[in-house]
Amino acid sequence: MKAEIISVGTELLLGELADTNTSFIAGQLAMLGIDLHHASLVGDNRERLLAALRQARQRADLIITTGGLGPTQDDITREAIAGLLEEEPAVDPALKQDLIDYFARRGIEMPENNIRQAVLIPSAVGLPNLRGTAPGWWAEKEGKVIVALPGPPPELQAMWQREVYPRLEKMSSAVIISRTIKTWGVGEAKVDEMTAPVLSAKNPTVGIYSKQDGIHLRITAKAAEKETARKMIARPEAEIRRILGDNIWGTDEETLEGILGQLLIKKGLTLAVAESFTGGLLSYTFASAPESERFFRGGIILGGGEARTAFGLKSPPLAGRASDGITAKMASIARTELGADIGFGIDGYAEPSVDISTGKIFVAIDAGKSSQSVTHNYSGRPHQIVRRAVQSALFDLYRVLR
Ligand code: ATP
Ligand code: MG
């Protein structure tokens, strides 16, 4: 089944509004295994919308419109669909009653204009709108389906989940299943080069995405049955695991801090942090992990100057210098001061730059009897650096704990 989305609204064409409805619907169609071949934006103009609908009907089996279902003169989606199907819109008594009830519940009389929202054409049924006044339309004619949804995202999404998704699920002959494999420590181009043999496949497909927490590989399989699609994913996944091995840290919805937390809990260990450079983000990251109260003892956040001297530390590292064991000391202070099994220290510096910054990150892990220190060089956009430092430190800890 081929689908096409048409977003209606002059605001969209003026750049005043981002078309998030299309992204939402596109993601949903992908999950349903429905191919989306075109998506377009049209202003609040009946003739142009009609032209877009005509073109869409020639190349798609399913057309989904968003917006233009309001009660005012510039809400023209219903009229345009009626024009396309050459049918006469008429007030539907049940939809009219729904509207009257909607306003009555709010203690207001229905404005005259809203009656426009109660019309239907013979080929369409109304889709109830639990969050607003405009019912959607589900129209079927000559083997093609046209779905009209309201513009406001909460209304559209509620209607989608309750009314549209179940109907499309019945119609679609395919399901799509994806699996995301998350890596750290290998750049995007290198991952691309290493996994070249699995990248060329058509089904399942493998896509590479650069994210905050590393490079993700997403395997997507399309099949008639969920089970078949799941089986199809297994082979490229095994291949990717063989190629990227220890650089893989997780899958799907997993986060590094979540995995670390579970590892620590399983080993019965607690963790404390001393951080400079990352300004509390490392502590925040652990604190917001699931069940953090079971493993995270807390963090000491250091700026420059006195705060450091109070802990007996020298001034922050400078460009071109090694950490001189400062980070190892920070890790040890965190462990002893906060009474944890493992102390985790991070420090670093960035060469100031507006474009691409370069610098060093020093990480130390102190487990009492043993300790380890790692230094990383990095480069990146200034606003990304602290986040990258945190992710990189998390991965260092993961490597040690694993
Ligand atoms: P209303 O009854 O509110 O007029 P409508 O179905 O006529 O609803 P529009 O008038 O086109 O929809 O849009 C109403 C509001 O919905 C917009 O101001 C905007 O906030 C949101 N909206 C509309 N289209 C989109 C879109 N494609 N993506 C995200 N938001 C949208
Ligand atoms: Mg409107």
- For 83-100, what is each residue's pLDDT tens digit? 999 999 999 999 999 999
SS3 of residue 400 by DSSP? helix
Q: Does the pLDDT of residue 284 top 60, yes or no?
A: yes
Q: What's the pLDDT at 354?
A: 76
**Average of per-residue pLDDT across 345-360:** 85
* pTM of the model as a whole: 0.68
Alpha helices in 268-350 (DSSP H): 281-287, 306-310, 326-337
Which residues are near ligand 2, the ion (C-beta closer than 5 Å)?
70, 75
The residue to mutate among 44, 69, 149, having the most atoms of ligand 1 within 8 angstroms of its beta carbon, is: 69
- Which residue minimizes the CA distance to atom 25 of ligand 1? 151
Backbone φ, ψ for residue 368 (5° rounding): 85, -80
Give the per-residue pLDDT at 280: 95
Q: Model confidence over 313-336: pLDDT tens digits?
A: 766 665 556 566 889 999 999 999
Among residues of the chain, what percentage have pLDDT more than 90?
A: 78
- In short, whether 68's Cβ falls inside 6 Å of ligand 1 is yes
Residues 397 and 125: their CA atoms lie apart, in Å, by: 57
In this predicted structure, what is the pLDDT of residue 174? 82
Q: Which has the higher per-residue pLDDT, 359 or 234?
A: 234
User: What is the full DSSP assignment across 325-389?
Assistant: THHHHHHHHHHHHTT-SEEEEEEEEE---SS-EEEEEEEEEE-SS-EEEEEEEEEE-HHHHHHHH
Residue owning the nearest CA to atom 20 of ligand 1: 152
Please give the angle made by the CA atoms of 282, 286 and 290, to the nearest 5 degrees.
155
Distances (CA, A) of 218 to 191, 208, 298: 12, 6, 35
Q: Is the CB of 70 under 6 A from ligand 1?
A: yes
- pLDDT tens, residue by residue, 273-282: 999 889 999 9
Query: Confidence band (pLDDT; 50, 70, 90) for 305?
Result: low
Note the residue count of the chain: 402
Note the pLDDT tens digit of each residue in 4-18: 999 999 999 999 999
Residue type, 265: I
Among protein residues, the one with the nearest Cα to ligand 1's atom 31 is 151
Query: In this structure, are strands 357-366 and 342-350 parallel, antiparallel, or unpaired?
Result: antiparallel
Q: In angstroms, what is the C-alpha Rg of the chain?
A: 28
Side-chain-facing half-sphere of 196: CA atoms under 13 Å: 4
Question: If pLDDT is split at 50, 70 and 90, which confidence band does 272 have?
Answer: very high
Measured distance CA(397)–CA(341) in Å, rounded: 13
Tokens of 236: 């490229």
Quick one: tokens of 97? Answer: 């009653």
Q: Which burial class, exposed, middle or buried, applies to 284 when counting CB atoms under 10 A from its CB (0-12, 13-18, 19+)?
A: middle
DSSP code of residue 114: G
Pairing, β 296-301 against β 271-275: parallel
Distance 60 CA to ligand 2 centre (A): 25
What's the confidence (pLDDT) of residue 37? 95
Say whether pLDDT at 46 is over 90: yes
- pLDDT band at 383; cut points 50, 70, 90: confident
**Ligand 2: centre distance to CA 197 (Å):** 49
Q: How far is the CA of 82 from the centre of ligand 2 (A)?
A: 18
Q: Is the CB of 81 under 6 A from ligand 1?
A: no
Distance between Cα 152 and ligand 1 center (Å): 4
Inter-residue contact 248 to 181 (CB < 8 Å): yes
346 strand-pairing partners? 275, 363
